[in-house]
Amino acid sequence: MAEGARWLHELKFDGYRCLISIGSGTAHAFTRSGLDWTDKFTPVVHDAASLPANAAIIDGEVVVVDVGGKTNFQALLSAIKGEPQPFPELPIVAI
């Protein structure tokens, strides 16, 4: 990776872009195209609903991070499909 004050970097996360809307103690997750994926991202939605906010919209990337700190898209797909995880301790997170 290039270094120095004149370089800017943005990390690439391998996941799904997601909007999470929070309001009145509940939360919902939506894809870029507007599909409601609340049921597919239950852990993220549950955690978002507990944030101390009356209302908010979180625009981020839902990912699974492996033990080495890298995003794992295949593990995310498996989690979305409800398939057994090769590493069940890996969380689904929104960044």
Q: Which residues are catalytic?
A: 12
Interatomic CA distance for residues 60 and 81, integer angstroms: 20
Closest C-alpha among 7, 26, 37 to residue 15: 37
Which residues make Cβ contacts (< 8 Å) with residue 6, sequence separation at least 6?
none
